[in-house]
Amino acid sequence: MNRWRAFFVSTIGSKIVMAVTGILLLLFVLGHLVGNLQIFLGRTALNDYAEGLRKLGPLLWVARIGLLAAFLLHIDAAVRLTLRSQAARPVPYAKTRHSATTYAARTMVVSGILVVLYVLYHLMHFTWGWVAPQAFALTETVDGAARHDVYGMVVAGFQQPLIAIVYVVAQAVLAMHLSHGASSLLQTLGVRGPLFENVKNYVGPAFALLVFVGYVSIPAAVLLGIVK
């Protein structure tokens, strides 16, 4: 068997694929957060940023395809490994007592599926404009030319408490997934030594908290009337 193929189908190789694609997805989550937080700089700043992204043209497609590939590889490894581990214990224990694992670690499959559903909803809402077509069609006129009013669309979206709640809950699920994932990937990539011994366990929860607070600040600010 070819080296790459043998690596790719092995349990540890598949985990390393999950870890590496996980890093790419984490970087996307961070980059997207930095972009979104520009809403606090006002309508022009956010709309300039959104227009800038659109103007990237082919580069935007490179990023999109790369991101989709990372998602698919991550999910493929997750499915293969999960099925394998379910088969590894055909007869369950009558009694189990966990002593080290966390709730986040045990629910990675569920939180992962929920994150995929959320991402699809999020795309339908803000990228494809199917959820709220009127808000999606909002425009802003700059120098006589009309452009997409992302700021107005986001504010209109989160002014509806139900939609805001969906986003906050989704962020909580995402944060849970990341709190295990970001710590776990360090172990999978072989990070070790006295310097990292305890740090590894805190990296995930710290990262998850940062992401959660960052993203939730936006619907919270809209609901509280700080951003309008």
Partner 1 sequence: MNLTLHVWRQKGPHDKGGFETHRMSDVSPDMSFLEMIDVLNETLIAAGKEPIAFDHDCREGICGMCSMVINGRPHGPEKGTTTCQLHMRKFRDGDEITIEPWRAKAFPVLKDLCVDRGAFDRIIQAGGYVSVNTGSVQDANCLPVSKVAADAAFDAATCIGCGACVAACPNGAAMLFVAAKISHLAHLPQGQPERHLRVTAMVEQMDHEAFGHCTNHFECGEACPKDISVENIALLNADYAKGALWAARPKQLSGDG
The dihedral built from the CA positions of residue 185, 190, 195 and 201, taken in this order, carries a sign that is positive
Backbone phi, then psi, for 129, in 5-degree steps? Answer: 70, 30
Among 197, 224, 225, 228, binds partner 1 (CB under 8 A): 197
Burial annotation 98-128 (CB, 10 A radius, 16+ → b, else e) = eeeeeebbeebeebbebbeebeebeeebbee
Q: Does 2 bind partner 1 (CB under 8 A)?
A: no
Closer to partner 1 by Cβ: residue 40 or 103: 103
The rounded Cα 108 to chain-centroid distance in angstroms is 13
Stretch that binds partner 1, among 102-110, 113-121, 149-157, 207-215 (CB under 8 A): 102-110
Stretch that binds partner 1, among 31-39, 58-66, 97-105, 134-142 (CB under 8 A): 97-105
Q: Does 84 bind partner 1 (CB under 8 A)?
A: yes
Stretch that binds partner 1, among 50-58, 103-111, 161-169, 171-179 (CB under 8 A): 103-111
Q: Give the residue among 182, 168, 166, 165 at the shortest CA–CA distance from 108.
A: 182
Q: Does 192 bind partner 1 (CB under 8 A)?
A: yes
Q: Does 177 bind partner 1 (CB under 8 A)?
A: no
Q: Does 6 bind partner 1 (CB under 8 A)?
A: yes
- Do the Cβ atoms of 49 and 38 come closer than 8 Å? yes
Stretch that binds partner 1, among 25-33, 40-48, 158-166, 188-196 (CB under 8 A): 188-196
Closer to partner 1 by Cβ: residue 40 or 196: 196
Q: Does 228 bind partner 1 (CB under 8 A)?
A: no
CB 95 → partner 1: shortest distance, Å?
4
Q: Does 111 bind partner 1 (CB under 8 A)?
A: no
Q: How big is the site for partner 1, counted in residues (CB under 8 A)?
A: 43
Q: Does 92 bind partner 1 (CB under 8 A)?
A: yes
- Which residues are near partner 1 by CB under 8 A? 3-4, 6-7, 10-16, 81, 84-85, 87-101, 105-106, 108, 180, 183-184, 186-192, 197
